[in-house]
Amino acid sequence: MENLVARPSNKLNIQHRKVLNAYFATRKEEVISEKKESLYKVISGDTLSKIAKKHDTTVSIVKKDNSLKSDIITIGQKLKVTSLKEKGKKVSFQYLNAANLGDEVYIIVKTHLIGEGKKVWVNVRQGVTTGVVKENGTLLLMQNGKEQARPEAIIGGLCNEPNLLNADDFKDWAVFKITLGGKDTSSYAAALDKLKGKITKLYLVVDAHSPNNDRDIVYNGMNPDKDGEPDQRSTPNQWLDMDDKWFKMGVKSGVLEEMKIIVDKHIKYSQTGVRNSLSKEGLKNLDCSETVAIYLHKLGVMPNLKILYTGTMTTEKDFQNAVGSKNIELISGSDKENFKPQKGDVFVWRKSNGVGHTGIVYHFDEKKDLVTILEAIGKVGSADEKTNKNNGGYTGTNCSRTAVYKRKGKALFSHSGWVGYFRPKNYTKKL
């Protein structure tokens, strides 16, 4: 057998498996629709409104398409109807260089030839000097309702999302949806509050070789220096860890954020002890109405911190008398199924046997129809603990906590003692 000889003219096209880039991002969705035209014959009982609704269009469009000057139509009349039929959605991601503790963000890891279905791990680490954790320490994050130090994503995983028209754009991407901070963000928030500008610098570490048992993966993470060459101060599987590339994490300000820090300490639930003081003794225990009282006092709605009971919070007049101010009002229609709360609202329910509960709306996710609540709750917990568990709420009971409930679920609107939502007004501090 002849020996093979490598000559200068021989060219080897070696394709390496690579991690090309990694960064934080926001997500944008665009609904893609197509026009559909049809001819409709008017039948008995039809109105332009009914016809428009049936074809997912509007009365004004139907009138324009048919040159109608009024809403009058006749049986047997033929109308041209143009409707928009949803084809699907297109997704894009925009580079993000800063966000706040508690924000939901995305981490994008772009790869080459590693293969769809392969796993990628990331760490978000503390850069430069000690900030919320020690230098180069790993931050806790939330992913899919669970606290993680090392979130995981699948290359091409986003391609399985229903009705995604540009799925091929992401076949080599690992996309992580995470929340900055773990279940209890109070220590991180306190640390940020002491830092200059209340901001700390973070970077990303990517691992695509360990989960796939593949040591031949190449990382392109060494940030270029001013001459375009890899900067030896960096490390190949690290991104954003240089000069002006750092990801900056800050902390939200306002009374709601102060209250979240308090309830996320998971203070023991009790209806006894000092209930009208912000002293160490006063914050040794909390109950639901005491939590709301502290909130209203910090907001400037309750001039003096008073003891509240749900029994004095069921009507606007009683609530105002208990607070000592008219700057709290029962929102009209908030006892109805279609009402959507705003952040800062206070919910109340109270049963005929005297058992009641109250809490503060921290966030309302209209798309998922979920309400994030700041509360102190007893040992039994709520009537919607399954939703709370499945959506990243704190699952411990007999303590203060951040919880997540269905807007129309049994912990809120569908509770037998539901009263509604009250809204502070004319407050003197930032919400």
Residue 11 amino acid letter: K
pLDDT at residue number 312: 94
pLDDT at residue number 4: 45
pLDDT at residue number 84: 77
pLDDT at residue number 1: 38
pLDDT at residue number 6: 47
pLDDT at residue number 7: 52
Class of domain 92-250: mainly beta
- As to burial, measured by CB atoms within 10 angstroms (0-12 exposed, 13-18 middle, 19+ buried), residue 25 is middle
Element containing residue 292 per DSSP (H, E): helix 288-299
Instruction: For domain 256-424, give the fold.
Output: endopeptidase fold (from Nostoc punctiforme) (3.90.1720)
Q: pTM for this structure?
A: 0.67
Which positions of the chain have pLDDT values less than 70? Answer: 1-14
CATH 3.90.1720 location in the chain: 256-424
CATH 2.60.40 location in the chain: 92-250
Whether 84 and 58 have beta carbons less than 8 Å apart is answered as no
pLDDT at residue number 57: 87
Tokens 């049809």 identify what position? Answer: 38
pLDDT at residue number 162: 94
The CB-side HSE value for 179 (13 A sphere, CA atoms) comes to 16
pLDDT at residue number 116: 93
pLDDT at residue number 231: 78
pLDDT at residue number 8: 53
pLDDT at residue number 278: 81
